Amino acid sequence: MSVLNASRTPALARVGAPALPRVSTSVAVAAMSAISLAPGLLPRSAVLQGVFSGLLVAAGLLAMWAFSAVARRLVSDRVKARFDEHHWRISALGLSTAAAAIAVFAASSWQNSLRAAMGAPSAGLLHWAEAGCIAALTALGLWGIGVGISKALRWMGFARSVGALVMGVLGVQLVVGPVVWNGLADSFDKSNAYIDTALTQPLSASVSGSPESLISWTSMGAEGRKFVAAGEDSVRVYAGLDSAPDAASRAALAVSELDRVGGFARNSVVVAVPTGSGWIDTHAVDGIEQRFGGDVAIVGQQYSDAPSWATFLFSRDEAEDSATALFTAIGTHIASMPTEERPDLFLYGQSLGAVGGSAALMEKSPTTACDVLWAGPPAGATRTEGATVLANTSDPVVWWSPALATQKPDLSRAVQDAPIPQWIPGVTFLQTTADMLGSLGVPAGHGHRYGTDQGTALRTCS
């Protein structure tokens, strides 16, 4: 009997060959690799693709490990032994390898079609080799950390593991989280306070930011100083976070300054709602100046020094309150002017600025905007009825929302600038989330980058 059993033992096993991966492992790696390589919206670097694939593979291995742990308790030993026999492992490994290779080939073709549409060089073999190495290192590193934690929990036992978990959660919530956030907040404050010596402070008393200005040069913030310093033909006014203590007082100060420098004497006034860090796109400003031939005043008001994603997640109401305060204050002042002297009023916002501007329109203003323009409005967070909308089909901001996991995106207001991927439940949400990281790394007219049409597309008052 022993001789018979030995004769049925696989030759590879007898010579001490490396153990083949379990069937569940092969399936998890292949499935998550295919999901990570599904069609996305934007070209990806090897690093981004590798890290994204590695994260999903590690998550798939963890999920399969948890599933197997439950299955081992429910399935008999005989069934488990037959399912995990050597030939099944070989078959699973072969099929999974073939599936992964097909996924890489399809991803390469898709990525190159995106790159061609956006004027980028195609991704060759080296790109995918780098992505594969980074993915493997990421997945193995995370899996190793997971195995280490699992062993530590088994060593500590159930009671001590629960205690350690509770202490870890409390530590993150009460200590680590606040320390990290405070560190980020400090870095945001320093970036906002940084004074670029390459910028020249305006000296003319009739220009905002000059020594005679109601809004000091230093209080405008880094983005406000860039915006004001670049002004030539148009009147530019910007109230920074440090210009006044709250949104209402900053808006009142902006109105007073706009009046002082003659902004309301221009033919048009554009309220430009900035993004989270206070940034107003220079392409938009150039387009506005082209649209009105320089006979325009542009006014902005900062509501945060944090990036848009942080503001959108944690303090979106600040953007809405700030835009509402400024738009209402400007509209009130225009309404108080003699009819024949009133300038045309316009409202513009990009990304989070569109969200804030949309909230401003919800409040009744004494002056109606001639036109409203949103560039790259976040999906489901902006009222687009009656507005001029600029949206690229390759812009992940236009796609992304929690609803994307179960519903197709509404691209009826978007202009196709690149191949559009097929919507796949769950998968498209993951792909779009990854693409958010590279949304600004493309030329204007693609992704979340828009050109001078942000201004030139503003419609004329009826």
Tens digit of each residue's pLDDT (9 = 90 or more) over 287-307: 999 999 889 999 999 999 888
Q: Would the pLDDT of 376 be above 50?
A: yes
Percent of the chain with pLDDT over 90: 62
Closest by CA to 140, choosing from 67, 50, 38, is 50
Q: Looking at residues 296-321, what average pLDDT do you find?
A: 88
Q: Would the pLDDT of 382 be above 50?
A: yes
pLDDT grade for 15, boundaries at 50, 70 and 90: very low
Report d(CA 460, CA 458) in Å as an integer.
Answer: 7
Cα of first residue to Cα of last residue in the chain, in angstroms, is 96
- Please report which helix (H) or strand (E) contains residue 46, including its range: helix 46-74
Which residue bears the tokens 């379990």? 22
pLDDT grade for 87, boundaries at 50, 70 and 90: confident
> What residues have CB less than 8 Å from 27, skipping those under 6 apart?
64, 92, 96
The mean of the pLDDT values for the chain is 87
Q: Can you give the pLDDT at residue 2?
A: 43
Q: What percentage of the chain's residues is helix, strand, coil (to nearest 5)?
A: 60, 5, 35
pLDDT grade for 13, boundaries at 50, 70 and 90: very low
Q: Can you give the pLDDT at residue 334?
A: 96
> What residues have CB less than 8 Å from 273, skipping those under 6 apart?
300, 301, 319, 322, 323, 326, 347, 348, 349, 353, 354, 356, 357, 360
Q: What b-and-e string marks burial along 31-65, b requiring 16 or more CB atoms within 10 Å of the CB?
A: bbbbbbbbbbbbbbbbebbbbbbbbbbbbbbeebb
Predicted confidence (pLDDT) per residue in 213-223, tens digit: 999 999 999 99
> What residues have CB less than 8 Å from 21, skipping those under 6 apart?
29, 89, 92, 93
Q: Flag the least confident range among 30-44, 305-319, 336-350, 371-385.
A: 305-319
Residues 194/223, Cβ–Cβ less than 8 Å: no
Residue 440's CB: how many other CB atoms inside 10 A?
A: 11
Residues 47/134, Cβ–Cβ less than 8 Å: yes
Predicted confidence (pLDDT) per residue in 388-428, tens digit: 999 999 999 999 999 999 999 999 999 999 999 999 999 99
Strand partners of residue 268: 296, 344
**H-state helical runs in 75-200:** 77-83, 86-117, 125-171, 177-193
Residues 32/57, Cβ–Cβ less than 8 Å: yes
Predicted confidence (pLDDT) per residue in 56-82, tens digit: 999 998 888 777 766 666 666 666 566
Distances (CA, A) of 275 to 243, 312, 398: 18, 10, 15
pTM, two decimals, is 0.84
Distances (CA, A) of 124 to 104, 419, 434: 12, 19, 21
Residues 442/417, Cβ–Cβ less than 8 Å: no
- Please report which helix (H) or strand (E) contains residue 272, including its range: strand 268-273
Q: Can you give the pLDDT at residue 425?
A: 97
Q: Looking at residues 17-37, what average pLDDT do you find?
A: 85
Higher pLDDT, 101 or 165: 101
Higher pLDDT, 230 or 244: 244
Q: Rg for the chain (alpha carbons), in Å?
A: 29
Q: Would the pLDDT of 8 be above 60?
A: no
User: Could you tell me how far CA 51 lies from the centroid of its own chain?
Assistant: 17
Strand order, beta sheet including 235-239:
235-239, 296-301, 268-273, 344-350, 371-375, 388-390
Q: Can you give the pLDDT at residue 21?
A: 82
Q: Looking at residues 451-460, what average pLDDT do you find?
A: 94
pLDDT grade for 83, boundaries at 50, 70 and 90: low
Q: Can you give the pLDDT at residue 91?
A: 83
Q: Can you give the pLDDT at residue 6?
A: 44
Distances (CA, A) of 236 to 72, 77, 82, 96, 292: 69, 76, 75, 60, 14
Q: Looking at residues 266-295, what average pLDDT do you find?
A: 94
Q: Flag the least confident range among 89-93, 407-411, 443-447, 454-458.
A: 89-93
Q: Can you give the pLDDT at residue 1?
A: 43
Q: Would the pLDDT of 313 be above 50?
A: yes
Which residue bears the tokens 């230093």? 218
Predicted confidence (pLDDT) per residue in 332-355, tens digit: 999 999 999 999 999 999 999 999
Residue 363's CB: how many other CB atoms inside 10 A?
A: 13
Q: Within the chain, what is the greatest distance between any pair of CA atoms?
A: 108
Q: Can you give the pLDDT at residue 66?
A: 75
Residues 447/396, Cβ–Cβ less than 8 Å: yes
Predicted confidence (pLDDT) per residue in 104-157, tens digit: 999 999 999 999 999 999 999 999 999 999 999 999 999 888 777 777 767 777
Q: Can you give the pLDDT at residue 3?
A: 43
Higher pLDDT, 172 or 325: 325
Q: Can you give the pLDDT at residue 234?
A: 87
